[in-house]
Homo-oligomer: A and B are copies of this chain.
Amino acid sequence: MTCLQIPAAERAQLAMMLEVCAYPKPGNVDRCHDYPDTRLEHFLASTIFARSAFEEAELGTGRIGEIIKHAVRDTNCHLGGNTHFGAFILLIPLIYGKDIHGAQKAIEKTDTSDAVAFYKAFAMTSVRMNAADELDVNDPHTLTLIRDRGMTLLDIMQHSAASDMVAREWVTGFRLSRRGADILKETGPGRQAIVRTFLTLLATEPDTFIIKKHGAGVAQEIMNSARDVLDGKRSAEDLDGECISRGINPGSIADILIASLFIALGERWSWDY
């Protein structure tokens, strides 16, 4: 066996492991930085615990919403809180469908039962939504609303796409995940390509997790700073320090990077060198 022939479930785990280990990734947990309540070990424990749900996705027979719920449930047992909710939203259709094309076909088949399961998964996390969201996960009437309107999980993602770049991947054919995979392949093997891809996405896309927490101005500021790092005007370590001290973490771009790694690993990009 070579590492190119590993099953999709293990490839997804590798993608999660490689993302969290890559250093420096400004603002995010990495090999050298923890958050006070969420540490490297929590991310890696989630990587281990996600295996059963990924294997379920690999079978390609169950329902996407239910499998996302299983991944959240199984990775919720440690004290590090939510580590990979956004990553699961991307990885599970990608594993299920084998590639982006298959993932798109799978998400088109989601129905109201997927939407309901997804909301139950969402409620298990502490992920925040926009205030005033009509489909607030903390509102018990939301499930009734979803059922009454017959909303599918794809409908839910369309509803969230304007304010959430992970949901947007579902409606744009995994556009950023694809771009990240292309950057990885253009940059070459190994972990420096992971850091470069993260910085490039950070410089070109406003992170919606930052927007929700700190507003659009801060997200734009971080894009400019990431551009400065790519242009050699500033070190990644310096930006990392600033993000950490200001509590700014580009969590959604990290989720997309995981999907990019999964795609690139399936297209013979190598983490190993």
> Which residues on A are within 8 Å of B, measured CB to CB?
1-3, 5-6, 10, 13-14, 17-18, 21, 31-32, 40-42, 44-45, 47-49, 51, 73-74, 76-80, 191, 271-273
Cα distance A109–B78 when bound, in Å?
Answer: 37
Q: Whole-angstrom distance from the CB of A52 to the nearest CB of chain B?
A: 9
- Stoichiometry, as copies per complex, reads 2
Q: Is the CB of A17 within 8 A of B45?
A: yes
Q: Whole-angstrom distance from the CB of A117 to the nearest CB of chain B?
A: 17
Can you list 13 pairs linking A and B with CB atoms under 8 Å apart? Answer: A1-B73, A1-B77, A3-B78, A10-B51, A14-B45, A17-B44, A18-B41, A21-B40, A32-B32, A41-B191, A42-B272, A44-B44, A45-B272
> From DSSP, what is the main secondary structure of chain A's interface residues?
helix
What are the 5 A-B residue pairs with the smallest beta carbon separation, nearest first? A3-B77, A13-B48, A79-B272, A17-B44, A1-B77
Which of B10, B74, B273 is in CB contact (< 8 Å) with A79? Answer: B273
Q: Whole-angstrom distance from the CB of A28 to the nearest CB of chain B?
A: 15
Q: Whole-angstrom distance from the CB of A15 to the nearest CB of chain B?
A: 10
